[in-house]
Structure 1
Amino acid sequence: MPDEGSYESTSAPWPAELRVFKEEGRLEIDFSDGRTCSLPAEYLRVESPSAEVQGHGPSQKKIVSGRRHVKIEAVEPVGHYAVRIVFDDKHDTGIYSWAYLRELGDTHAERWAAYQAALLYRGLSRDA
């Protein structure tokens, strides 16, 4: 059973509305508890829940570089619990649950700082 604070909890806020801003490269989500998250396409791409990015455990996570200008081509529903985001670099294998999208919104600053530090450490760039 998930912890009370877990994002997989059945009481976790659900998206009330999703908006894609293709030219700006971001996804905006209004949640049922009144919180709005604005998630850049690049951030969504480098934090994709796909095995290609996440590997099969925390120690296998890949650092995806060169995605500064990635855009969202489509957002497709997956049942009642998630969406698949299709990016213009043809990545489309991540299934973003509502809980994961909320987690990405709530932890954006920390995750983004960690991503930028990982790029710097590896001598990689956000540019292609």
Structure 2
Amino acid sequence: MTESIQEDNAQGFHTEHWPTDLKYKSDERALHITFENGKNFALPAEYLRVESPSAEVQGHHPSQKQILSGRSMVGIMAIEPVGNYAVRLTFDDLHDTGIYSWQYLYKLATEQETIWQTYLDEMEKRGLSRNP
């Protein structure tokens, strides 16, 4: 499955970096995104799922954030544009309530190492596994 979204140089919505290309590669289970500044990133579906901006995952306060286990094999089934500022990802575990703004995707991309390590540390601390 390959989905592609081409964005024009839109303005507004407090977004500093806009994607110029967004493709999901199912064989890698990764969302490949290129921003207007030329930076390219590959974001694993598992990473996007466990860091979903949905209230189900993030809660309504940082202290309510959920640590999801068993998502190592998750994939993305659909990518739906939301206006010109975000996409809604539908995962094969049927989670589809997170709206990933360009700003949030850029943060996940540029801070991936730190965010992922924090997730792994929390999983270990709680005795949880990434495996289903």
User: Is the 2:81–2:88 contact (alpha carbons within 8 Å) kept by the matching residues of 1?
Assistant: yes
Superposition CA RMSD, Å = 1.3
Stretches (4+) displaced over 6 A: none
Can you give the 5+ residue segments of structure 2 that lack an aligned partner in the other structure? Answer: 1-11
Can you give the 5+ residue segments of structure 1 that lack an aligned partner in the other structure? Answer: 1-7
Indicate which of 13, 30, 43 corresponds to 2:17. Answer: 13
Percent of aligned pairs with the same amino acid: 55
Q: Which TM-score applies when normalising by structure 1?
A: 0.91
* 1:60 pairs with 2:96: no
* 1:105 pairs with 2:109: yes
The alpha-carbon distance between structure 1 residues 124 and 11, as it changes in their structure 2 partners (threshold 3 A), is closer
SS of match in other structure, 1:105: helix
* 1:27 pairs with 2:31: yes
User: Is the 1:37–1:102 contact (alpha carbons within 8 Å) kept by the matching residues of 2?
Assistant: no
Q: Which TM-score applies when normalising by structure 2?
A: 0.88
User: Is the 1:23–1:71 contact (alpha carbons within 8 Å) kept by the matching residues of 2?
Assistant: no
Q: Any idea what the Cα deviations from partners look like across 1:10-44, whole Å, max 9, x if unmatched? A: 36110000011012100010000011111000000
Alignment-derived partner of residue 3 in structure 2:
none
The one-letter code sitting in structure 1 at the alignment partner of 2:43 is L
* 1:88 pairs with 2:79: no
SS of match in other structure, 1:99: helix
